[in-house]
A = this chain, B = another copy of it.
Amino acid sequence: MMVNAPAKITFPSPDKQDGKRFTQMMERAEAAFEQKELRFTKLRQQVYGEIAATHSSIGAYEILARMADKGTRVAPISIYRAIDALLDAGVIHRLESKNAFFACRRADHTSTGRRPIFLSCEVCGAVGEVDGQDIFDLTDERARSAGFTPKVKFVEISGTCPRCTGKKPD
């Protein structure tokens, strides 16, 4: 048993092969839409592109502004509708504590059914995901033992990411 093995973490890495990674993310997103029988339309691709292109979380209006810079001018509601579809497809997550969105960097949520908790860096804004299925299981149990029927759960941690503390993971 590897008791203190570092948790498998998915933190976005700036400055490393961004182009390649971006393309991969786009392909994975497309696959996710296909698998769920949802349409990965042009607008959704653009919105996802903006979210995936940042290494931190991004607000709806920031997406709007960046798209406008590139010549695509749409109304807020259109961004929100695209975001809803991306959330449905599971390719982005919503960060409740910041009212913002970030690209999911793990391929395995849907395949394994294990849900992640979110780690949001206060310094650089990066958002990481670590497996938190046991945590969700525990909260579920706790809620039920209080007679509460849980439906949607949120677990978010803000603090300092490995890069910003100087401490390297692995």
Chain A residues with CB under 8 Å of chain B are 4-7, 9, 11, 96-97, 99, 117, 119, 121-122, 128, 130-132, 134-135, 138-140, 142-143, 145-162, 165, 167-170
Contact indicator B152/A142 (Cβ below 8 Å): no
A144 CB, nearest partner CB in chain B, Å: 9
Instruction: Report chain B residues within 8 Å CB of A161.
Output: 147-148
Contact indicator B128/A142 (Cβ below 8 Å): no
Please tell me how many copies of the chain the complex holds.
2
Q: Can you offer 15 A-B residue contacts whose CB atoms are under 8 A?
A: A11-B146, A96-B96, A96-B156, A99-B99, A117-B139, A128-B146, A132-B139, A146-B162, A146-B169, A149-B159, A151-B159, A151-B160, A152-B157, A153-B155, A154-B156
Instruction: Report chain B residues within 8 Å CB of A4.
Output: 145
Contact indicator B157/A7 (Cβ below 8 Å): no
Contact indicator B168/A157 (Cβ below 8 Å): no
Contact indicator A146/B96 (Cβ below 8 Å): no
Contact for A142 among B7, B99, B142, B154, CB less than 8 A: B7
Contact indicator B96/A119 (Cβ below 8 Å): no
